[in-house]
Amino acid sequence: MAAKGLLRFLLALLLLVGCLGRPGPPPSAAAPRAIAAIYNFGDSISDTGNFIREGAPVGMMARTGGLPYGSAIGGATGRCSDGYLMIDFLATDLGLPLLSPYLDKDADFTHGANFAVTGATALDTASLAKMGVSMAHTNSSLAVQLQRFKDLMASTTKSSSETRERLASALVMVGEIGGNDYNYAFAANRPRANESGLHSVGHMLTGAVESLVLVPRVVKSITGAARELLDMGATRLVIPGNFPLGCVPSYLSAVDETDPGAYDGNGCLVGLNLFAQMHNVLLQQGVRELRRLYPSATIAYADYFSAYVRMLRGASKMGFDAKAAFRACCGAGGGAYNVDMDRMCGAPGTTVCARPDERLSWDGVHLTQHSYKVMTELLYRRGFASPAPVTFPRH
């Protein structure tokens, strides 16, 4: 009953927040310049190698620097997938080189830089700790990444006007980030082994409540970073929303809910998806406000939630095995999800499926290269990122 009560509360809150307004169409802006560089901020969804360069990797993603990660592209690079990510496909489609991680000190940053770090959060470590949320992966929060960007600009341009000139022909990706803030809050209160009944529900409720408190602060951090970038001269921003958490195999496995009423028609957990939508609605309100304050900039909201659901619903037509839509390709544990959070991909005892391109999920948390390619197509060629932040060269 407690779980159902929480669902009703989340739904009511989502409807209330939604009634406050969603971003309308942005005002028209001057024709943008061709994109000459991309600057990317985020977490493991777009990290191309910063995490493995921070030192000895720790946490459940510690094995991303070795095979089978990167098996589709000839070896591990620090990308949390079997191959390339959305940021890679986007850069390639724009005719730009793949983004080098900022912590690769030998890299050429002429065409941009990637500041994303696996495990990164929107809020800084100290702020999360005050709220009882601990993290063991990295201290490279969004604020840290933004400072690294400022350091790069200071070392490669001679003045603020030169920085503005560079950003006038750049695409800036502010996320996806914020998911880990919620992940850590949920993880701290996930049901314990062999725990059931009221104790299990109690832990889930505690995690949900703690995460709800985080939402407005996470959104404020993201929009605050976006404002700083716009003030520095950014003219084209993409601000992605959260994925549908209730469709992610690691969450499905952790909750292991047996009540059919807890799932929607896609097989995803209703409560967790409502939570993700809470974040997304508040973030869209923030995007609307940014558009009001910076009418000459193109500020796109990338709807990761809807794009992923579209991919899930059209799995068969897009080349996936629809029967294994929630089953991780690389992992341990078997069952419907093949996820064991204590034995993530690459750990002893884990296995890799025969055809990764037929799976949506790579390791229960991140997507396969094929999924990221489909997501990129949906976002930047089929309108799930709006207004369209880029124009691709005609072939």
Picking from 309, 281, 270, the residue whose alpha carbon sits closest to that of residue 9 is: 270
Distance CA 236, CA 299 (A): 6
Could you list the active site residues?
Answer: 44, 363, 366
Q: What angle do CA 355, 42, 204 make, to 5 degrees?
A: 75
Closest CA to 294 of 153, 172, 148: 172
Which residues are paired to 258 by β-bridges?
Answer: none
- The residue whose two tokens read 């993409």 is 238
Q: How far is CA 229 from CA 171, 214, 216, 222, in A?
A: 11, 23, 20, 11
What is the rounded distance in angstroms from the CA atom of residue 259 to the CA atom of residue 360? Answer: 24
Name the residue type at position 82: D
Residue at token pair 């990660």: 69
Terminal CA-to-CA distance of the chain, rounded, Å?
57
Q: What is the CA 257 to chain-centroid distance, rounded?
A: 24
State the Cα–Cα distance between residues 328 and 65, nearest whole angstrom. Answer: 19
DSSP state at residue 160: H
